[in-house]
Amino acid sequence: MQKNATASINTAANAGGMPAAGRLNWSTRMAFILAATGSAVGLGNIWKFPYITGENGGGAFVLLYLFCIALIGIPLLIAEVMIGRRGKHSPPDAMKALAKEAGVSRHWSLVGWVGVITGFLLLSFYLVVAGWAVSYIFTAGTGAFHGASGDEIGAMFGGLVGDPVATTVWGSVVLLITSAIVIKGVKQGLERAVTTMMPGLLVLLLVLVGYAMTTGHFAEGVNFMFNPDFSKLTGTSVLVALGHAFFSLSLAGGGMMTYGSYLGKDVSLGKTVLTIGVLDTLVALIAGLAIFPIVFANNLEPGAGPGLIFVTLPIAFGQMPMGQVVGLLFFIMLSFAALTSAISLMEPAVSFLTEKKGYSRLKAGSMTAAGIWVLSLGSVFSFNIWQDHTLYGKTFFDVLDYLTSSWIMPLSGLAMAVFTGWVMKKTSTKEELPNGMTHTLWRFLIRYITPVGILAVFLNAIGVMG
């Protein structure tokens, strides 16, 4: 295996697997791990996890989430990467190839289609939040948080999201950068960004945890996150916890399947996926530990919603020593984390269009980007001119998030569990997970625990709603 990890995807024909002619391939095993971790760790960990934990009452929700990651998320991530690696095509065709191998209907390709479409839908609102993060690089860099009160910082955030033109521009910047990288197809930059930015982000989060310890409310934050009070769970909390396990691990968004399709046989799926899952969960928990003490110290509302980190962390940056530099670095790294996830949301559609329609990456990327841009306006406007246009109290942004994370992704996960656990031949999955114990454990989880877990969550949600 090559030791040098400079190019993460290339068109070489010997990337450790059996690539179809002309397919992109990871140059090294490390390259895949980095790109997949880059996909998993993103706004979901730092922006979404803390705010939904706040909205769903804290500890009990965190516990539910951890169960979902361990029993549903990790086995499914193995399944998704396995489908990609064995199917060796973009998601719909990878599913079709494996359905053929198993001798079942080619309509299983629908699962791949859902992945591509979900990635598209997710990116349309993901880039809006990523745009907020990019714009905060400049807000932090100019020292605007210095000495500002909680109310002033709240007003700054309100001013940003309330401005449809500014947020459209910032979102477009994110989309342009994402498309440029995806169109180039060679992900050298991606790998370098992940290797430097990810540890940097972790260090900064730890610095913030250090600051949170000085607020005098650290114990309250820890208690909020880790002391489960089940009475605080709302009717849909379980569904939100499951949905977030999918979102955070980049499951069922097509990205992991596509990245898996560029992966050679020499990589241990079990170990790799476990590493990604542990890292992803750690980043989310550390982000929570940094944020909640600041929330309590400043009498803020943990359930304040999507603005939570954009209001709490700037308060910390405004008060701590070197806060301007720390804040600047933090938003740069957050933007990179968002970018490496955004790339994995766009890649499935581009991979599909190039493979199936024979389009160049430029044409496929431009078309995908144009569609995503138009859809993203709905999410931009959800915070300003359309904020009162709601469906069951949810804005366009909320509806997209809710439909994808809470329903489409878990349903598609259920289908992947049934497919890899019950439809694919045991000999095939054994080839992908050659370690006997890992295969036995995975197969038990994916056949029984994962699908039953997803169904239980759905039944609970339907019961609650009905």
Whether the CB-CB separation of 458 and 410 falls below 8 Å is answered with yes
Q: Is 341 in the site for ligand PFF (CB under 6 A)?
A: yes
Among 15, 194, 287, 345, binds ligand PFF (CB under 6 A): 345
Q: Is 351 in the site for ligand PFF (CB under 6 A)?
A: no
How far apart (Å, rounded) are the C-alpha atoms in residues 404 and 397? 11
Q: What is the CA radius of gyration of the chain?
A: 21
Q: Is 39 in the site for ligand PFF (CB under 6 A)?
A: yes
Q: At its nearest, how many Å lie between ligand PFF and the CB of residue 299? A: 29
Q: In terms of Cα–Cα distance, which of 455, 404, 407 is closest to 117?
A: 404
How far apart (Å, rounded) are the C-alpha atoms in residues 239 and 407? 8
Region near ligand PFF per CB under 6 A, out of 43-51, 153-161, 187-195, 454-462 = 43-51
Q: At its nearest, how many Å lie between ligand PFF and the CB of residue 318? A: 26
Q: Is 45 in the site for ligand PFF (CB under 6 A)?
A: yes
User: Any residues with CB less than 8 A from the CB of 355 and at least 6 apart, and which?
Assistant: 89, 90, 93
Q: At its nearest, how many Å lie between ligand PFF and the CB of residue 51? A: 13
Among 42, 54, 58, 314, binds ligand PFF (CB under 6 A): 42
Q: In terms of Cα–Cα distance, which of 188, 185, 115 is closest to 348?
A: 115
Q: At its nearest, how many Å lie between ligand PFF and the CB of residue 401? A: 11
Region near ligand PFF per CB under 6 A, out of 34-42, 163-171, 193-201, 388-396 = 34-42
Q: Count of CB atoms within 10 A of residue 40's CB?
A: 29
Q: Is 73 in the site for ligand PFF (CB under 6 A)?
A: no
Nearer to ligand PFF, 46 or 297 (CB): 46
Q: Is 119 in the site for ligand PFF (CB under 6 A)?
A: yes
Of residues 238-267, those binding ligand PFF (CB under 6 A): 247-248, 250, 253, 255
Q: Is 124 in the site for ligand PFF (CB under 6 A)?
A: no
Q: In terms of Cα–Cα distance, which of 12, 19, 3 is closest to 264?
A: 19
Q: At its nearest, how many Å lie between ligand PFF and the CB of residue 398? A: 17
User: Any residues with CB less than 8 A from the CB of 391 and at least 6 apart, and which?
Assistant: 399
CA 458 to chain centre: 21
Nearer to ligand PFF, 40 or 238 (CB): 40
Sequence-ordered strand ranges (E) for 114-250: none
Q: Is 450 in the site for ligand PFF (CB under 6 A)?
A: no
- Number of residues counted as binding ligand PFF (CB under 6 A): 16
Region near ligand PFF per CB under 6 A, out of 4-12, 38-46, 182-190, 264-272 = 38-46
Measured CA angle at 66 (ends 63, 69), to 5 deg: 155
Q: Is 443 in a helix, a strand, or coil?
A: helix
Say how many Å lie between the first and final Cα of the chain, rounded: 55
Task: Please report which residue ranges of 214-322 form alpha helices under DSSP H.
Answer: 218-226, 237-248, 255-261, 269-297, 308-319
Q: Is 38 in the site for ligand PFF (CB under 6 A)?
A: no
Interface characters, 395-434, with ligand PFF (x: CB under 6 A): ----------------------------------------
User: Any residues with CB less than 8 A from the CB of 256 and at least 6 apart, and which?
Assistant: 36, 39, 77, 80, 81, 84, 249, 250, 344
How far apart (Å, rounded) are the C-alpha atoms in residues 280 and 282? 6
Q: Is 43 in the site for ligand PFF (CB under 6 A)?
A: yes
Nearer to ligand PFF, 386 or 407 (CB): 407
Nearer to ligand PFF, 255 or 365 (CB): 255
Q: Is 178 in the site for ligand PFF (CB under 6 A)?
A: no
Q: Is 344 in the site for ligand PFF (CB under 6 A)?
A: yes
Q: Is 193 in the site for ligand PFF (CB under 6 A)?
A: no
Which residues of this chain interact with ligand PFF, rule CB under 6 A?
39-40, 42-45, 119, 122, 247-248, 250, 253, 255, 341, 344-345
